[in-house]
């Protein structure tokens, strides 16, 4: 996979990490928001129930007060006590009527005085409270009747539904609250129903009065939670998406910092991950090892050995190819230092040099350092310049190549035949070798037209009076052909693949 594609893939991996990292606070935030809303809405409902129960208790306290005040009148003639009943209605808050009964018969009312009416004691929960749909005076307005008994007599105090509905209305702010007395439930819209909310209902909450036989209830639905999401989770709803975005971007940036091509190459260079592989170059005549080409490999800690085609273009783009080549030359130099005598006389070391390395004279120093390391058994240093990337001749290059030649460095045109180097070009750079591109060597032995092309390339090189190196020799037929055409050097898998320096040295030694 080319290095650029690798970077694109890394970009998507980073994007995925960024999204994942962004999702984390989001999921956390949503969970916290849901939890905050649920506990907030539940707490609010519990408080409303408590408040409602307290207010109903207070209302019934008033009824109890009125009942207690007239309890002494129970059993006395109505005309005698009637005014006392009316006084209670007039003075005690929430009280609409005060009536007296004997058994199940009402015999005296604050409104009409002596009457004869029936009540059903079974309607009174624990004999004390009756929630009614209405009475003959206000048939459409629910009311509650509080009953207090003394022997066969009792006092009935009517509390107007108006007060009850007021409380329910106030307290049903976020979810409807119901007042439950026995089998009946009153809701804020005057609705009286026997369809009670029970503990089995979703989100059911209740508050039971300890003084009177009633309770207040509510059921929180999912809709209630959603409706109040903003009220209880403002902070989370603003903070967490923001945090998610920031965190996601931060992770994206952080992973990108490590993965940018230049950074990655710099890191690899600092860790000496670019190592030389050597491929033997043999003489055309008798195929003995007369030199080698140094080929760069990236020993990546996670991706294993990476071939140069995948990272050299990027290294050239990032301006890192010069220090990388320098590091390669240094490694080869140091590997052979102290054992230069194992090398055959006049052994060639070929290095691939990018055009950008020829922009100043630093290459001269690099070559000098290399050559000096082999003083005890002088070698030939060959710089391979690819024909695909022609160098523009100017003052600097003129000086550079003059100094290189003075130093005894050889110049080879790599991939010859694939570019456009002219005779003038070859002379300008005082080229010593031509490396015939492997695509031409591959044509040997194929159809007549291809063979013709190979012959022409070989002829051209011979007429230019330059030494020839044939690259990519893979079989005996190609080797024999090149030998017959007097090609000076050959290089290819047929003679040896690029290999680590230690392998190269151990294969070289017996020779």
- Interacting residues toward ligand C2E by CB under 6 A: 279, 295-296, 307-309, 312, 321, 325, 328, 352, 354, 384, 386, 414-415, 438, 471-474, 492-493, 498
Query: Looking at beta carbons only, is 224 or 414 nearer to ligand C2E?
Result: 414
Q: Which helix (H) or strand (E) holds 17?
A: helix 3-70
Cα gap 10→6, rounded to integer Å: 6
Dihedral Cα 231, 233, 237, 242, nearest 10 deg:
130
Quick one: which segment of 10-18, 269-277, 410-418, 493-501 binds Ca ion (CB under 5 A)?
A: 410-418
Q: Which is nearer to ligand C2E, 253 or 493 (CB)?
A: 493
Work out which of 64, 130, 384, 387 binds Ca ion, going by CB under 5 A: 384
Q: Under a CB-based contact definition with an 8 Å cutoff, are residues 250 and 472 in contact?
A: no
For position 387 contacting Ca ion by CB under 5 A, the verdict is no
Q: Alpha carbon 185 to chain centroid distance? A: 52
Q: Does 352 bind Ca ion (CB under 5 A)?
A: yes
Output the smallest distance, CB 389 to ligand C2E, in A: 9
CB of 119 or CB of 412, closer to Ca ion: 412
Q: Which of 216, 233, 415, 454 binds Ca ion (CB under 5 A)?
A: 415
Nearer to ligand C2E, 219 or 321 (CB): 321
Element (H, E) at 261: helix 261-270
**123 contact, one of ligand C2E, Ca ion, none, CB 5-8 Å limit per kind:** none
114: tokens are 């002596």
CB of 24 to ligand C2E, least distance (A): 42
Taking CB under 5 A as the rule, does residue 414 contact Ca ion? yes
- Nearest approach in angstroms of CB 497 to ligand C2E is 7
Q: Is 325 in the site for Ca ion (CB under 5 A)?
A: no
Phi, then psi, of 504 in degrees rounded to 5 = -60, -45
- Residue 479's H or E segment, with its range, is helix 476-484
Residue 87 partner contact from Ca ion, ligand C2E, none using kind-dependent CB cut-offs of 5 to 8 Å: none
Which CB, 273 or 474, lies closer to ligand C2E?
Answer: 474
* Shortest Å distance, C-beta 440 to Ca ion: 11
Distance CA 373, CA 381 (A): 12
The partner residues of 352 in beta bridges, in order of sequence, read 384
For the purposes of burial, counting CB atoms within 10 Å of the CB of 423, is it exposed (0-12), middle (13-18) or buried (19 or more)? Answer: exposed
Q: Say if CB 453 and CB 440 are below 8 A apart.
A: yes
Nearer to ligand C2E, 224 or 471 (CB): 471
Contact 21, 247 (CB under 8 A): yes
């Amino acid at each position: 996979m080319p290095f650029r594609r690798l970077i694109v893939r890394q970009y998507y991996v980073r994007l995925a990490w960024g999204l994942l990292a962004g999702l984390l606070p989001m999921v956390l935030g949503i969970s916290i928001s849901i939890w905050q809303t649920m506990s907030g809405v539940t707490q609010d409902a519990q408080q409303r129930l408590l408040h409602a129960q307290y207010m109903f208790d207070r209302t019934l306290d008033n009824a109890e007060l009125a009942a207690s005040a007239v309890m002494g009148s129970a059993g006395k003639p109505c005309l005698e006590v009637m005014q006392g009943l009316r006084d209670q209605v007039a003075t005690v808050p929430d009280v609409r009527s005060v009536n007296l009964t004997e058994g199940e018969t009402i015999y005296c009312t604050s409104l009409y005085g002596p009457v004869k009416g029936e009540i059903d004691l079974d309607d009174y929960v624990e004999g004390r409270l009756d929630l009614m749909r209405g009475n003959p005076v206000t048939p459409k307005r629910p009311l509650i009747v509080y009953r207090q008994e003394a022997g066969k007599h009792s006092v009935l105090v009517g509390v107007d539904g108006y007060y009850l509905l007021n409380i329910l209305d106030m307290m049903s702010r976020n979810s409807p609250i119901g007042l439950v007395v026995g089998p009946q439930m009153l809701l804020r819209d005057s609705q009286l129903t026997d369809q009670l909310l029970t503990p089995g209902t979703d989100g059911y909450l209740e508050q039971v009065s300890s003084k009177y036989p009633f309770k207040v209830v509510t059921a929180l639905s999912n809709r209630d939670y959603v409706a109040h999401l903003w009220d209880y989770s403002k902070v989370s709803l603003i903070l967490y998406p923001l945090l998610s975005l920031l965190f996601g971007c931060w992770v994206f940036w952080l992973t990108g910092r490590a993965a940018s091509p230049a950074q990655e190459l710099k890191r690899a260079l600092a860790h000496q991950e670019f190592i030389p592989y050597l491929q033997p170059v043999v003489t055309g005549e008798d195929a003995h090892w007369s030199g080698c080409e140094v080929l760069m490999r990236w020993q990546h800690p996670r991706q294993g050995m990476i071939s140069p085609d995948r990272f050299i273009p990027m290294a050239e783009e990032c301006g890192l190819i010069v220090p990388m080549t320098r590091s390669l030359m240094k490694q080869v130099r140091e590997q052979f230092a102290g054992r230069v005598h194992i090398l055959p006389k006049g052994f060639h070391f070929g290095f691939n040099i990018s055009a950008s390395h020829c922009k100043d004279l630093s290459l001269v120093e690099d070559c000098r350092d290399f050559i000096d390391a082999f003083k005890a058994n002088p070698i030939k240093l060959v710089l391979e310049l690819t024909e695909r990337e022609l160098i523009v001749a100017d003052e600097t290059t003129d000086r550079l190549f003059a100094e290189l030649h003075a130093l005894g460095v050889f110049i080879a045109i790599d991939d010859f035949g694939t570019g456009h180097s002219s005779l003038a070009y070859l002379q300008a750079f005082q080229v010593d070798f031509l490396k015939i591109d492997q695509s031409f060597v591959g044509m040997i032995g194929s159809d007549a037209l291809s063979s013709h092309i190979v012959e022409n390339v070989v002829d051209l090189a011979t007429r230019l009076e330059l030494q020839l190196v044939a690259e990519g020799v893979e079989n005996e037929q190609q080797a024999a052909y090149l030998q017959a055409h007097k090609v000076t050097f050959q290089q290819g898998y047929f003679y040896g693949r690029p290999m680590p320096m230690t392998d190269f040295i151990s294969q070289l030694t017996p020779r």
